[in-house]
Amino acid sequence: MAQKLAIMKQIVIDLGTLFPQLTTWQEIYLAPKIMEVESMAPLELQVCESGAIYPEHDGSCRAEDFIVQIGIFRSYRLDSGKRHSKALADLATSIFHLKETVMRLDGSFLTEELLVRPLIIQTETEVMETKNEGQLLKILNFTAGLNVEMI
């Protein structure tokens, strides 16, 4: 448990290096689940754990693969002056670039011996509208692997 929490904290820190314009632990932070909150910044990244499977068991060691979710929240404004097509194209480009940046996350997990297998992108959601008008969300799901010693 403590190892998994250390991994999640390291992901937040490593995302902070990929997004130096954001403040780590304020705009990039751990969450119990990917969730919209009032008064979010124009760009926020939430990191959470979303379940695990234990595919292998070998003696006193058990493999664990758990899902790491990274939610990208992006605010937008459309003006009423017939420039919505350019604004939407810019927004689509922005979300694409944000997703590509998050997918470059390799971090210091293996060098710090936090994971035994690197983060691997598994799925991503479509861009969704949140309940707050003017805010979009895209969620990336990664598999992270570690080994757990059994007692």
Q: Which of 36-45, 88-97, 110-119, 120-129 has the lowest mean pLDDT?
A: 110-119
Per DSSP, the three-state class of 66 is strand
Residue 9's pLDDT band, with cuts at 50, 70 and 90, is very high
**DSSP H helical ranges for 19-139:** 84-103
- What is the tally of structural domains in the chain? 1
Please, are residues 36 and 11 in contact by the beta-carbon 8 Å criterion? no
Q: What is the CATH number of the domain that holds 6?
A: 3.30.2000.10
Q: 0.85 exceeded by the pTM?
A: yes
Average pLDDT estimate for 15-28: 96
* Count of CB atoms situated within 10 Å of the CB of 140: 21
Say what the pLDDT of residue 43 is: 97
For residue 38, give the nearest of 92, 75, 85 by alpha carbon. Answer: 75
Residue range of the domain that includes 132: 2-149
Q: What are phi and psi of 28, to 5 degrees?
A: -125, 115
Residue 110's pLDDT band, with cuts at 50, 70 and 90, is low
Q: Which residue has the tokens 């991503």?
A: 124
Determine the residue type at 91: L
